[in-house]
């Protein structure tokens, strides 16, 4: 049985594809390096974070002590890819409808697609970062774990969660204009509470269960498990995470459709 939001996406799949293509291509249109920025940006981020945390702060990753700074860089960058995907989607969500207010008056335009385009664009940039990560692993360690092929399933809860949050925040952003500022502050705090720069196991035991309540921590740990450590993902995570993400998408989509009835009056 197909969910309501799935039927909408399938019905508008051609329009969705064109919107995603336009969004991705439009970001680099007119720049001298063009598409090269999608690879250059994560590469520069990797270099800077590696230098600062491994050389300035002398940070090491617990289970990769023998790899030194390279082991730290690989683990940190894997977590950073996940967080950046989430942050890019969530940071833009409150202004999605406001920035495309001309679509609100066009009744036939499916406004719910704006959130899907936002998430799909962020996924594209996350994939380019994954390519950089894989090349870095190949150069530093001489191998790329085959378990990285599990990443599409590992990221299903992440993508579903991002989509659900986009529908919620984009609808709320129309009625509560301050929510964009609140989201920006929350993302800055969340970056340091999501085990991006450290493994969850490095925290005192009393704090580990608390931080484990953050879904991003679980997703980042599972990403490192398959993309860095070469281990299989947790079957329980894949099952529960996917079910919860689908349920969240369905509920948030229905809420968005109800909220959109008042968009024209507010805008």
Q: What is the pLDDT of residues 12-40, one digit of tens each?
A: 889 899 988 888 777 766 555 556 667 77
Q: What CA–CA distances, in Å, run from 98 to 21, 112, 124, 174, 193?
A: 21, 13, 24, 6, 30
Strand ranges, E, within 217-266: none
Contact 111, 166 (CB under 8 A): no
> Which pLDDT belongs to residue 67?
53
Residue whose tokens read 């079957």: 235
Average pLDDT, the chain: 85
Contact 219, 238 (CB under 8 A): no
| Structure-block tokens of residue 105 | 């008056």
pLDDT band, residue 84 (cuts 50/70/90):
very high
> Which pLDDT belongs to residue 231?
92
Domain limits, the chain: 4-266
DSSP assignment of 135-147: HHHHHHHS---GG
The contacts found for 235-240 with CB under 8 angstroms, 24 or more apart, are 237/154, 237/157, 238/153, 238/154, 238/156
Task: Give me the mean pLDDT over the 56-64 stretch.
Answer: 58
| Structure-block tokens of residue 156 | 């299903």
Q: Above 80 in pLDDT, residue 105? A: no
| Lowest model confidence (mean pLDDT) among 14-18, 26-30, 193-197, 238-242 | 26-30
pLDDT band, residue 167 (cuts 50/70/90):
very high
User: Of 83, 91, 94, whose CA–CA distance to 191 is shortest?
Assistant: 83
Task: Give me the mean pLDDT over the 37-49 stretch.
Answer: 76
In whole angstroms, give the CA distance from residue 199 to residue 191. 13
SS3 103: helix
SS3 228: coil
In whole angstroms, give the CA distance from residue 98 to residue 20. 19
Highest mean pLDDT among 108-112, 203-207, 242-246: 242-246
In whole angstroms, give the CA distance from residue 125 to residue 104. 28
Non-local (6+) Cβ contacts of 59 within 8 A are 53, 72, 197, 198
Non-local (6+) Cβ contacts of 158 within 8 A are 82, 85, 86, 219, 245
User: Of 184, 179, 178, whose CA–CA distance to 168 is shortest?
Assistant: 179
Run of H or E including 206: none
Non-local (6+) Cβ contacts of 262 within 8 A are 174, 175
Share of the chain above pLDDT 90, in %: 43
Q: What are the respective helix, strand and coil percentages of the chain, to the nearest 5?
A: 80, 0, 20
Q: Above 90 in pLDDT, residue 69? A: no
Q: Is the dihedral of CA 265, 98, 90, 108 positive or negative?
A: positive
CA–centroid distance for 172 within its chain? 20
């Amino acid at each position: 049985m197909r969910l309501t939001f799935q039927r909408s996406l399938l019905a508008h799949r051609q329009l969705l594809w064109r919107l995603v293509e336009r969004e991705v291509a439009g970001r680099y249109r007119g720049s001298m390096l063009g598409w090269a920025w999608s690879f250059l940006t994560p590469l520069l981020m990797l270099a800077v974070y590696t230098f600062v945390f491994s050389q300035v702060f002398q940070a090491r990753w617990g289970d990769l002590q023998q790899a030194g700074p390279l082991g730290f860089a690989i683990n940190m960058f894997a977590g950073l890819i996940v967080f950046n995907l989430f942050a890019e989607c969530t940071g833009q969500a409150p202004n999605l409808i406001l920035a495309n207010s001309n679509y609100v008056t066009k009744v036939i335009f499916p406004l719910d697609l704006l959130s899907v385009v936002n998430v799909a664009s962020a996924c594209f940039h996350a994939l380019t970062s994954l390519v950089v990560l894989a090349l870095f692993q190949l150069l530093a360690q001489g191998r790329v774990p085959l378990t990285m092929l599990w990443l599409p399933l590992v990221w299903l809860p992440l993508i579903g969660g991002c989509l659900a949050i986009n529908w919620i925040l984009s609808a709320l952003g129309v009625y509560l204009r301050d929510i964009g500022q609140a989201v920006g502050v929350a993302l800055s705090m969340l970056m340091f509470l999501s085990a991006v720069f450290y493994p969850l196991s490095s925290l005192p035991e009393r704090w580990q269960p608390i931080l484990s309540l953050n879904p991003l921590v679980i997703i980042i740990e599972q990403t490192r498990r398959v993309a860095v450590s070469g281990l299989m993902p947790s079957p329980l995570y894949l099952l529960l995470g996917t079910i919860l993400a689908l349920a969240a998408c369905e509920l948030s989509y229905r809420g968005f459709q109800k909220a959109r009835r008042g968009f024209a009056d507010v805008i």
